[in-house]
């Protein structure tokens, strides 16, 4: 069995000043090298769980380990191990891609020469070379998504958390992003991904978990889950397990 990239044991989390817990005794393991997809309806707890895994939220109970490091105890050293691509554009719109990469590269702990090399590589891969010195605020949504992703991977993280990385982009950009994610996964980066784009998830993920009402209700390879629940696609499986009712 491969080592755990993420190991969650008996996780309990409640938002401050709220009486209802988001998670109670939640357990989950993501192996190194996996392309793991976390899915669920709105309000199921996907983003909260991802925020707990990345240390953005402090959990009250249980443990979360990234590559064997407890995130609550060694936060800053653990932060070197992973990258995060939030759903929102998480960079400075007033700056160019080069300036953003230089700043976030430094904050990721890279040296000047490393930043320079990695910046050139990422601009090339993300097709941003021609606009390298233009302010990001002038970019299209697809270009901003690529900048967002480039910043998340500048320090070659061993685990990459992606919160809906392709929302609002055209087919070409989506294809380019998915292709790049598969490439870095082959090079050893574990992907932990959430999205509402289930067809895209089928293409990208080799392991999925469905979360609803703060509980993991299914967790296996996509093929096995489809066999177990006699479904022919992730969308059918999703409806089967989470029901048809609207979620807020």
Site membership for other proteins, residue 54 (CB under 8 A): yes
For residue 9 the two structure tokens come to 């044991």
CB-based contact 50:85 (threshold 8 Å): no
Using CB under 8 A, pick the residue from 132, 134, 135, 196 that binds other proteins.
135
Q: Residues 6 or more apart from 196 whose CB is under 8 A from it? A: 39, 164, 167
Q: H helices of the chain, where?
A: 46-53, 75-78, 97-107, 112-125, 141-153, 171-186, 198-204, 222-228, 234-242
Check residue 69 and give left, alpha or beta (phi > 0: left; psi -120 to 50: alpha).
Answer: beta
* Residue window 181-220: x/- pattern of binding to other proteins, with contact defined by CB under 8 A: ----------------------------------------
Using CB under 8 A, pick the residue from 21, 89, 131, 202 that binds other proteins.
89
* Residue window 137-176: x/- pattern of binding to other proteins, with contact defined by CB under 8 A: --------------xx------------------------
Count of residues in contact with other proteins, rule CB under 8 A: 35
CB-based contact 4:53 (threshold 8 Å): no
Q: Of the listed pieces 92-100, 117-125, 169-177, 193-201, which binds other proteins according to CB under 8 A?
A: 92-100
Using CB under 8 A, pick the residue from 9, 92, 158, 206 that binds other proteins.
92
Of 76 and 244, CB closest to other proteins = 76
């Amino acid at each position: 069995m491969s080592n755990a990239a993420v190991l969650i044991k008996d996780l309990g989390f409640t938002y401050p000043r709220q009486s209802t817990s988001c998670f109670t005794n939640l357990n989950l393991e993501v192996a190194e090298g996996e392309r793991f997809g976390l899915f669920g309806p709105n309000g199921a707890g996907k983003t909260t769980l991802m925020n707990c895994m990345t240390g953005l939220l402090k959990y009250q109970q249980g443990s979360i380990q990234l590559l064997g490091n407890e995130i609550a105890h060694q936060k800053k050293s653990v932060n070197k191990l992973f990258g995060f691509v939030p759903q929102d554009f998480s960079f400075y719109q007033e700056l160019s891609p080069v300036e953003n990469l230089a700043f976030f590269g430094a904050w990721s702990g890279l040296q000047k020469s490393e930043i320079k090399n990695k910046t050139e590589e990422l601009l090339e891969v993300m097709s941003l070379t021609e606009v390298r010195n233009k302010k990001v605020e002038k970019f299209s949504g697809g270009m901003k998504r690529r900048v967002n992703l480039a910043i998340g991977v500048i320090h070659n993280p061993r685990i990459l958390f992606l919160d809906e990385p392709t929302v609002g982009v055209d087919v070409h950009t989506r294809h380019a992003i998915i292709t790049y994610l598969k490439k870095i996964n082959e090079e050893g980066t574990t992907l932990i991904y959430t999205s509402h784009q289930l067809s895209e998830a089928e293409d990208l993920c080799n392991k999925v978990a469905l979360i609803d009402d703060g509980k993991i209700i299914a967790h296996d390879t996509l093929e096995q889950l489809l066999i177990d629940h006699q479904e022919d696609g992730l969308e059918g499986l999703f409806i089967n397990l989470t029901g048809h009712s609207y979620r807020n």
